[in-house]
């Protein structure tokens, strides 16, 4: 694997020279834009606005645009000489329990490899320290024109670096409207039974069926295969659920049948207890009704 960054892990006074390689790869099928009329390829060319010349990549550098529109060139050398300890190092700043990291913060993943023989022992020392402590290391590093937050953890015999989003990059959940509804204990139990039935699936066996179908379409168009049959049309989605319990029970039975397990029938309870979530307006209405009854009971009847 070709390294995308070289530097060192800074672990207190210990320095571990490493190289960074991508831990994931994309299997997406790429498309090109073509002209509908004649099938000609549509290309994007990098052209200078001043002289109109088409440029090669080695003729292009970064430029920062000021408020007045002036473009200031910023070279690789300028970035390499930034006065930051993280410019060429992954600086460990803290060790924390893995459960304390919100998965929504985790971004791209990279494998870290020791680059020199002298790095082998401190690399292994850090790997075993992470493994034995059952913790992950939070670190800071600079890559691709910005300082980033990262997480170091162990995967087998390798130290993995996960890019983390900064805390201020995570939007508040308060921006998401939450429905205020009540569900019954029976409905929750049925949902849990469905979750239990779906537990144990080996995600290593899952495949991208969309990509497989797309390959069949391309093979058919190139004359090396046949066009796949269209999928059955799904029933239209409905905002109204007629019987949630029945749908959950049916889902459990279908999941068991798919997994080759015997289907079981759970009798529906005659009385459904509400899993307490009463709206403020509902509670206030109930209180108001009770007070009204008390007042009426104390009044003398008219002759």
Query: In sequence order, which residues have a C-beta less than 8 Å from that of residue 136 and are 6 or more positions away?
Result: 95, 96, 97, 98, 101, 130, 151, 152, 153
Helix, coil or strand: residue 21: strand
Identify any residues that bridge with 63 across adjacent strands, giving them in sequence order.
Answer: 73
In terms of DSSP H, where are the helices of 84-178? 120-133
Look at residue 85 in the predicted model and tell me its pLDDT: 59
Look at residue 56 in the predicted model and tell me its pLDDT: 92
pTM: 0.66
Q: Mind listing the pLDDT tens digit for each residue in 204-218?
A: 888 888 888 888 888
> Could you tell me how many residues make up the chain?
303
Tell me phi and psi for residue 233, to 5 degrees: -70, 125
CA distance 222 to 218: 6
Weakest-pLDDT range from 12-26, 71-85, 250-264: 250-264
Task: Report whether pLDDT(47) > 90.
Answer: yes
How far lies 151's CA from each of 91, 126, 128, 142, 166, in Å? 11, 13, 16, 13, 12
The model's confidence at residue 200, banded by pLDDT at 50, 70 and 90, is confident
DSSP 269: P
State the DSSP string of 34-59: B-TTT-PBP----B-TTT--B--GGG
The model's confidence at residue 251, banded by pLDDT at 50, 70 and 90, is confident
How far lies 128's CA from each of 132, 141, 156, 206, 226, in Å? 6, 22, 11, 32, 52
Task: Report whether pLDDT(202) > 90.
Answer: no
3-state helix, strand, coil in the chain (%, to 5): 35, 25, 45
Task: Report whether pLDDT(288) > 80.
Answer: no
Token reading at 244 = 């949630």
Query: In sequence order, which residues have a C-beta less than 8 Å from that of residue 275 and are 6 or more positions away?
Result: 182, 183, 184, 185, 187, 188
Q: State the average pLDDT over residues 232-256.
A: 70
Between 184 and 247, residue with greater pLDDT: 184
Look at residue 84 in the predicted model and tell me its pLDDT: 65
Helix, coil or strand: residue 15: strand
Q: State the average pLDDT over residues 70-79.
A: 86
The model's confidence at residue 70, banded by pLDDT at 50, 70 and 90, is very high
Look at residue 66 in the predicted model and tell me its pLDDT: 93
Between 168 and 85, residue with greater pLDDT: 168
Q: Work out whether the CA dihedral 147, 148, 149, 153 comes out positive or negative.
A: negative
Helix, coil or strand: residue 270: coil
Between 275 and 27, residue with greater pLDDT: 27
Q: Report which secondary-structure segment, H or E, holds 76.
A: helix 76-80
């Amino acid at each position: 694997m070709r390294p995308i960054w070289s530097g060192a892990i800074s672990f207190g006074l210990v320095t571990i020279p490493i190289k960074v390689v991508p831990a994931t790869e994309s299997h997406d099928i790429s498309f090109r834009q073509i002209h509908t009329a004649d099938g000609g390829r549509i290309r994007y060319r990098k052209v200078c606005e001043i002289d109109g010349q088409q440029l090669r990549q080695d003729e292009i550098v970064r430029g920062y645009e000021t408020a007045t529109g002036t473009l200031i060139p910023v070279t690789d050398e300028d970035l390499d000489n930034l006065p930051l300890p993280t410019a060429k190092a992954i600086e460990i700043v803290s060790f924390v329990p893995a459960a304390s990291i919100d998965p929504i913060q985790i971004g791209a993943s990279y494998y870290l490899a020791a680059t020199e023989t002298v790095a082998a022992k401190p690399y292994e020392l850090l790997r075993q320290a992470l493994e034995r402590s059952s913790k992950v290391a939070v670190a800071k590093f600079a890559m691709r024109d910005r300082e980033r937050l990262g997480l170091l953890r162990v995967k087998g015999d390798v130290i993995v670096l996960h890019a983390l989003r900064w805390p201020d990059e995570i939007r508040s959940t308060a921006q998401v409207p939450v429905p205020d509804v009540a569900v019954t204990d029976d409905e929750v139990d049925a949902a849990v039974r469905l979750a239990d039935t779906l537990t144990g699936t080996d995600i290593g066996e899952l495949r991208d069926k969309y990509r497989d179908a797309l390959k069949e379409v391309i093979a058919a168009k190139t004359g090396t295969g046949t066009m796949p049959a269209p999928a059955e049309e799904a029933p239209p989605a409905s905002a109204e659920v007629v019987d949630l319990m029945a749908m959950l029970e049916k889902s459990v039975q279908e999941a068991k049948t798919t997994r080759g397990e015997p289907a079981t029938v759970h009798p529906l309870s005659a009385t459904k207890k509400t899993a307490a979530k009463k709206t403020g307006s509902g509670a206030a209405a109930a209180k108001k009704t009770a007070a009204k009854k008390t007042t009426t009971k104390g009044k003398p009847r008219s002759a």
